[in-house]
Amino acid sequence: MNEFDLIMKLGDIPVRIIEFLRSAEFLRLIAVLKSVSAVVSALLFLGIVTVIVKTGMIASKVESLAHVFRQSSFPKTKIIKNWALVTRRLQSYDEASFKLALIEADKIFDDLLKRIGYAGETMAERLKRINTAQISNIDSIWQAHKLRNQLVHNPDFHLTHGQVREAVEAYESAMKELEILE
């Protein structure tokens, strides 16, 4: 075989490839591959569904959402009403009134955390479960809660109106972020 014959045979390769791609044999191969891939895809899908069901991933999410919707009377209006009382108390420069505003603001926020599903025996335990991605000013909330604790556990503890205002504003900011207050 000389070089010319070799070149002619190599030049014939693209034509042979095109003929093969048009052949009935190739079309049967494609049909078989489609069928096999459909079966494999269906099995993989069933496997994924089985894993999700057995791990309870969806069930826990559905139960969590169902819990929120079952509480059809989510007390947003009650929270807003109670918050108005906190702001009225805060407007007073009477120390007893603005101290009470801090205690009430803390209680409203703690009740809100319970309602939206943060677990824990105490507010401190619930706050530990929150990070800045969930509530951006969580550090300010912690400071406000600590201030409230000092106030409740030490009756002689004195606060300035400014300290209380700052603490109450931290709660208010978080509730706006959670879209409870506007």
Q: What does the mean pLDDT of the chain come to? A: 86
- Residue where a domain terminates, one of 69, 84, 105: 69
Indicate whether 124 belongs to any domain: yes
Position 21 scores a pLDDT of 82
- Residue where a domain terminates, one of 34, 49, 69: 69
Indicate whether 182 belongs to any domain: no
48 lies in the same domain as 27: yes
Query: Which domain range does residue 82 map to?
Result: 74-177
Give the total number of structural domains in the chain. Answer: 2
Position 55 scores a pLDDT of 81
56 lies in the same domain as 113: no
120 lies in the same domain as 141: yes
Q: What is the pLDDT of residues 115-140, one digit of tens each?
A: 888 888 999 999 998 888 888 899 99
65 lies in the same domain as 83: no
105 lies in the same domain as 153: yes
- Residue where a domain terminates, one of 51, 69, 87: 69
Residue 7: pLDDT above 90? no
62 lies in the same domain as 82: no
pTM above 0.85, yes or no: no
Position 149 scores a pLDDT of 95
State the Cα–Cα distance between residues 97 and 38, nearest whole angstrom: 71
Position 85 scores a pLDDT of 94
How many residues are present in the chain? 182
What percent of the chain is modeled with pLDDT above 90?
47
Q: What is the pLDDT of residues 52-95, one digit of tens each?
A: 888 876 766 666 555 555 554 567 888 899 999 999 999 988 98
Amino acid (1-letter code) at residue 71:
Q
How many angstroms separate the Cα of 49 from the Cα of each of 41, 45, 60, 131? 12, 6, 15, 31
15 lies in the same domain as 96: no
52 lies in the same domain as 103: no
Position 61 scores a pLDDT of 64
Helical spans, DSSP H, in 3-159:
3-11, 13-22, 24-55, 57-70, 76-91, 95-115, 123-128, 138-153
Indicate whether 100 belongs to any domain: yes
54 lies in the same domain as 78: no
86 lies in the same domain as 39: no
Arithmetic mean of pLDDT, 27-56: 91
11 lies in the same domain as 101: no
Residue 110: pLDDT above 80? yes
